[in-house]
Amino acid sequence: MRIKQQVVVFDAADLSTESRFWAGLLGGTVAADDDWHMVLVDGEPRVAVQLAPNHVPPEWPDGNPQQIHLDLWVDDIDASHQEVMSLGATLLQAAEETDDPDAFQVYADPAGHPFCLCWVKDVPPALD
């Protein structure tokens, strides 16, 4: 089998809000049909949103189960946090203080789908 294209599709009751969020986050545009919106980045399909009038948002971490989530790796967590919040995201869980070199925060998009902003922490130089 040869897969020529891959697109993640989100269900949402409000196509416009959901597709605008992902287009804003990915730096893309929305190609809209009645019950399907495709988010294009540099002219290529990246994610899609399909109309699901009875969509029930997941409740993270417990409650209505999530169907999928995305991990998005960023260089600047502070700037990225501000951007996703201005686009309509909700912070579900702030990063935990750990000794791990990687960190993440959990958000929900406007339709309630969880996604994570992930980053590599600045590691102080080793002392000799």
Better pLDDT: 127 or 35: 35
What's the confidence (pLDDT) of residue 36?
94
Angle at 118 between CA 115 and CA 122, to 5 degrees: 165
Q: The pTM is what?
A: 0.78
Q: How do residues 41-92 score in pLDDT, each as one tens digit?
A: 999 999 999 999 999 998 888 888 877 788 898 999 999 999 999 999 999 9
Q: Which of 2-6, 23-27, 53-57, 71-75 comes out lowest in average pLDDT?
A: 2-6
What's the confidence (pLDDT) of residue 2?
76
| pLDDT more than 90, % of the chain | 70
The phi and psi torsions of 73 (rounded to 5 degrees) equal -85, 130
* Among candidate residues 117, 33, 19, the one with its CA nearest the CA of residue 69: 117
